[in-house]
Structure 1
């Protein structure tokens, strides 16, 4: 199993879990942009985040700023 993870990392540049987190965040981000008044709590639950703060943590990590810094 370790060989597969190393091969994945070498080919993709990220670990499998990191890629899953990125894909999940992209889905949540798309949902946030499509809604007029997005609810972070609802979207967090819908996309499998433990809670709203977990989504916000990923938002800062992958988007580079907090949701409050974005004009919706």
Structure 2
């Protein structure tokens, strides 16, 4: 499984190939949010069935408000 990492988002090692786990630490900026969207889109494209995503937000301190309303982020949340 490809490891995903930005300055604030790190993919965690998980045994199941259908489970994607990431740890979010610190303040998430637009670039990191968009990179995660692209990574998860690729994950959806690799799997015929649903995938699971586990988020560790224990060290999350905030984000750029406009990243929440970015069209790509909203679309990825509703991806099959």
Task: Give yes or no for TM over 0.5.
Answer: no
- Return the structure number with greater helix share: 1
- Return the structure number with greater strand share: 2
**TM-score (ref. length: structure 1):** 0.39
Structure possessing the higher radius of gyration over alpha carbons:
1
Question: Relative contact order: is structure 1 or structure 2 higher (C-alpha 8 Å, sep ≥ 6)?
Answer: 2
**TM-score (ref. length: structure 2):** 0.36
